[in-house]
Amino acid sequence: MKGICRFFQRFLHLILWLAGLTLIGYFQYYATEDIKPSKICQPITEVMFLKTHKTGSSTILNILYRFTEKHNLTMALPYGNEPHLGYPDSFHISYVEEFKTLGKKFNIMGNHLRFNWQQVRRIMPNNTFYFSILRHPALLLESSYVYFKNYAPAFRKSKDINDFLSSPWSYYNMTEKNNMHAKNNMWFDFGYNNNAEYDESYIQFVLNNIEEIFHLILIADFFDESMILLKDFLCWDLDDVIYFKMNARSQQTIQTLNPENKEKVKEWCALDWELYKHFNKSFWMKIQERMDLKTLYKEVELLQKRQNELMETCLLEETAIENHQIKDKNMKPFQGNTHIMGYNLKEDLDNKTLNICKKMTMPELQYTAHLYNSQFPFKKKKIFK
């Protein structure tokens, strides 16, 4: 009996010694690599993205579309043959396909709409994660000017962006339809009056209201940092937020704002400027709360490395190309008033790789139609042109 007890004692000591070595190795590894163990969490699958205009939001929508397919989720898609969820009208549940049968059963929502909290909450589950993205108003206005030149009356009447900003009130009429793209467009997209007078108490009320509803506001000027923060909030994998730029313009279409007009945008779009300043600050505060900058940029580096690997695997050219160079007509993006770039895929890709690459480069309208036909095979959605 004593021999047996002595054997088990030695066996127990051996187990404890091995466990100690394992723990020492574990902590030495993370101390050497300066990486914290991944936190244990479940991926969030109920997500509402407010897709603002000219903020890189089409790239994020592509990310959401791919996540939807990967996890066999249900997307709240535009009704019938519409490209948007009722925009520029205030959102109503009737703008969503099959809202009567699928209300509260949708997982993801992200197509263009003008935010209406009371209506959106009738579509999405109670535990939905809400997020959006903002961009510096000067950069946004320049992009909007080029893209919506023939759509917004205020832009149509002016020669170029600097001409418009030299005397905006001579071109802008707040009663004309579609002029929201010419003044405080982000404020409008969030559901507020883009022509409201500048009033500090009103602005603070709106900022507080947005903070109460939205869990996270990303910043387009720091897009990769935004993807890492989004990944952290949603507990998604790195590949879930890898992207190719969608809806990007040709460099030749960019108009340079002179320094005076760049400052003037802050006055002309004063509501958007206050929105941007506030949430740019909160963006960096949220990063500080969740990770240090060393960890952030280590993850950004990993994202960019993975992105470059996929671009090398998928793309015939090194990056996006002009619309007229795209070989597959079905993969040409909607052009608006400008030159929107797209991609050519390499030939002879195996089926699995081809599927991944095709989804990452599929333009927004084509992907919307693809998801629609997948979710509602008894109906047929045409590609909006």
Parse the chain into domains and list their residue ranges: 47-238+256-295+364-375
For residue 175 the two structure tokens come to 């009663």
Q: How many angstroms separate the CA atoms of 123 and 76, rounded?
A: 8
Q: Tell me the pTM.
A: 0.88
Q: Sheet with 47-50: list strands edge to edge.
A: 75-76, 108-109, 47-50, 129-134, 216-219
Q: Residue 331: CB partners within 8 Å, gap ≥ 6? A: 342, 343, 361, 362, 363, 366
Per-residue pLDDT of the chain (385 residues; tens, 9 = 90+): 445 445 445 544 544 444 443 333 333 333 333 334 445 899 999 999 999 999 999 999 999 999 999 999 999 999 988 999 999 999 999 999 999 999 899 999 999 999 999 999 999 999 999 999 999 999 999 999 999 999 999 999 899 999 999 999 999 999 999 999 999 999 999 999 999 999 999 999 999 999 999 999 999 999 999 999 999 999 999 999 999 999 888 888 999 999 999 999 999 999 999 999 999 999 999 999 999 999 999 999 999 999 999 999 999 998 899 988 999 998 999 877 778 899 999 999 999 999 999 999 999 999 999 999 999 998 876 654 4
Q: How many angstroms separate the CA atoms of 91 and 250, rounded?
A: 32
Superfamily of domain 47-238+256-295+364-375: P-loop containing nucleotide triphosphate hydrolases (3.40.50.300)
Closest to 234 in 3D by CA, of 127, 147, 357:
127
Radius of gyration of the chain (CA): 25
DSSP secondary structure of 138-178: HHHHHHHHHHTTTTSHHHHTSSSHHHHHHSGGGT--TTSTT
